[in-house]
Amino acid sequence: MRRSGTRREAILAAIAAGEADVDGLAARFGVSPSTIRRDLQRLSAERAIARTYGGAMLAPMAEEQSLGAREGMNRGAKAAIAAAALDLVPEGETLILDGGSTIAAFGRLLRGRRHRIITNNLPLIALLADQPGIELVVLGGAVRPISMSTSGPLAEAALRCLTADRLLTSADGLMPGLGLCEATLEQVSLKSLMMQRAAAVTVLADASKLGRAGQPCWAPLPARWTLVTDAPERASEAFGAEGAEVVRAPGAG
Amino acid sequence: MRRSGTRREAILAAIAAGEADVDGLAARFGVSPSTIRRDLQRLSAERAIARTYGGAMLAPMAEEQSLGAREGMNRGAKAAIAAAALDLVPEGETLILDGGSTIAAFGRLLRGRRHRIITNNLPLIALLADQPGIELVVLGGAVRPISMSTSGPLAEAALRCLTADRLLTSADGLMPGLGLCEATLEQVSLKSLMMQRAAAVTVLADASKLGRAGQPCWAPLPARWTLVTDAPERASEAFGAEGAEVVRAPGAG
DNA sequence: CGCGTTTTGCGCATTTCGCGCAGGTTCCTG
DNA sequence: CAGGAACCTGCGCGAAATGCGCAAAACGCG
């Protein structure tokens, strides 16, 4: 029977459309849950989907574009850093969330919480827009495809109309005494303005960023700020010596 | 004990490292499977992981398709209207693309072309950001989850810094003499400003929108504008009589 | 029409999950 | 310093989901 292949494609489409539980799919296609289970098992073996308890979800794509590849890098570390940063942020605060995959990982954890979010992090919008407890404001401006974020004069103009309790940001590199570095002046200009507009500054950076000066454009850090990192203490103590509160997230493994 | 937060981060790291089953995690951390289960439940609620049968996996970065469901409605008609509208737009123009699924369908057709795009249509960003021939500017502002678009004072302020060759917009309803209607004043205020800022106005509306006054807030249309619709001529001739150029798209089929 | 292959549905044992309950620890407060 | 609130933890129980084996049905092919 060639039809089963057709049904598996339809199941794939149904899962992509949100129909995710075994019983629902069984009713939808008029077959028994056992059959759906077998189909899901096969699709799972083909790496097309991933099984969940009582259902299935689209498989996490192995690799994709430039952004997806970088998101995969240090993913565990970023998730751990994001979770550690979450404990520092009281519910109800107004947050500025900067661009970058580390901040996106943090933003995902805000689902279910109550916050006002100001962000130029475009992938984050889809993750938070449906949350009833979250009021989302997007900073406009020109889109940087590499980082999927906005920047430029329009973003800065919008930011000048807003203030926040806390900024969460990351960087291409951090150096004691210099601050954080990025590839373009446009980026550091926006980051500096974000720091001015937030009462507290929290920087999320994995171990590979500390002590790295790989970019030419620098933004100084405020007198008091918080660093959340998975790096060992010897790599971060220099920041602590110059006014940063250092929070360690457990390293992967 | 506040340490549980620390353990949850460690669990996150362990899952990223491949340790994925409940019993293994319980043994790894020296706690009962019940506790691990609770931790996984909590991480799952935070969307940091996804539960599987007997374990967990890192949450996929991409999700969200509540909009996708509505996008399916009148999909054929919208695609036909979008294709017809594409013929009206010369390559190289600077376009304002309003929110809504009809405009999103149009924007998808711009892939591979050369344009400057100004938009508050959030789903469109992911579709066009990777296109080398397209320069993308996002209007910031508050996010309306229902339509996945931005609006409000910030969007209008940004728009006041920009002009465009053409506006492509849609509406909840169109009436001869009245213009187009939307659910909120905020929406029509932004649409009116978009019309002022664009040298030409093109409205995409399927047959169900014509002659419908289902919303209380109205924006008048300019003296000359273009209507692209799949409705039969008798439904659109009233608009032609008051200055609109009417372009018919072949009905869905 | 007969046969082999594939698919499907069902029952059963096993595993996992969710929830309530009791005990213990931490922290805050009067 | 004592009391209490909040939290975490472990355990047991009922419910749900899973995997497996087996028999019946559907399909393709000679």
- Which residues, by CB, come closer than 7 Å to strand D? A 1-2, 21-23, 33-34, 37, 41, 51, 53-55; B 1, 3-5, 7, 30-32, 34-35, 38-39, 53
Contact call for A87 and B59, based on CB within 8 A? no
The DSSP letter of residue B21 is: B
Residues of B whose CB is below 8 A from A111: 45-47
Cβ-Cβ contacts under 8 Å for B179 (sequence gap 6 or more): B218, B219, B220, B221
- Specify the DSSP element, H or E, that contains A244: strand A244-248
Radius of gyration of the CA atoms of chain A, in A: 21
The CA distance from B132 to the nearest CA of chain A, in Å, is 9
Give the residue with greater pLDDT, B16 vs B10: B10
pLDDT digits (tens, 9 = 90+) for A68-112: 445 555 666 787 788 788 878 888 899 999 999 899 988 888 877
Lowest mean pLDDT among A39-53, B132-146, B193-207, B212-226: A39-53
pLDDT value for B31: 92
Residues 6+ apart with CB under 8 A from B39: B4, B7, B8, B11
Determine the residue among B125, B138, B139, B160 to mutate to test chain A binding: the one whose Cβ has the most chain A Cβ atoms within 10 Å.
B138
Residue A2's pLDDT is 43
Average pLDDT of chain B to the nearest whole number: 88
* More confident site: B72 or B233: B233
Give which of B184, B16, B246, B29 is closest to A75, Cα–Cα.
B16
pLDDT exceeds 60 at position A63? no
Q: Is residue A40 helix, strand or coil?
A: helix
Measured between beta carbons, which residues in chain B are less than 8 angstroms from residue A161? 153-154, 157
Tokens encoding B57: 């996996």
Q: What percent of chain B has pLDDT over 70?
A: 90
- What residue ranges define each of the domains in chain A, with the CATH number in brackets? 4-58 (1.10.10.10), 67-248 (3.40.50.1360)
Q: Work out the average pLDDT over B169-184.
A: 95
Q: Is A98 exposed, middle or buried (0-12, 13-18, 19+ CB in 10 A)?
A: buried
User: Percentage of chain A with pLDDT > 70?
Assistant: 90
Please report, for chain B, how many H helices and E strands are present, in that order. Answer: 10, 14
How confident is the model at residue A252, as a pLDDT? Answer: 40
Helices B3-16 & B22-29 angle (0-180, nearest 10): 130
Beta carbons of A80 and A251 less than 8 angstroms apart: yes
Q: Is A46 helix (H, G, I), strand (E, B) or coil?
A: coil
Distance separating alpha carbons of residues A168 and A172, to the nearest angstrom: 14
Interface contact A138-B126, CB threshold 8 A: no
Beta-carbon separation of A161 and B155 below 8 A: no
Percentage of chain A with pLDDT > 90?
Answer: 54
Q: Mean pLDDT of all residues in chain A? A: 86
What does the alpha-carbon distance between residue B228 and residue B249 come to, in Å, rounded to a whole number?
A: 7
Q: Where are the beta strands (DSSP E) in B40-114?
A: 49-52, 55-58, 94-97
What pLDDT does B251 receive? 55
Q: Which of A190-199, B48-57, B182-191 has the lowest mean pLDDT?
A: B48-57
The protein footprint on chain D, as nucleotides within 7 A of a CB, is 7-12, 16-21, 26-28
Q: Which of A51, A65, A155 sits opposite B52 (nearest CB)?
A: A51
CB contacts of B157 in chain A (<8 Å) are: 157-158, 161
- Residue among A227, A129, A79, A162 nearest B126 (CA): A129
pLDDT in tens, B86-141: 989 999 999 999 999 999 989 988 988 999 999 999 999 988 998 899 999 999 99
Q: What chain B residue is nearest to A130 in terms of C-alpha separation?
A: B145
CA distance B230 to B211: 14
Nucleotides of C under 7 A from a protein CB: 6-11, 15-20, 25-27
DSSP SS3 for A56: strand
- Relative to beta strand B173-175, strand A164-169 is unpaired
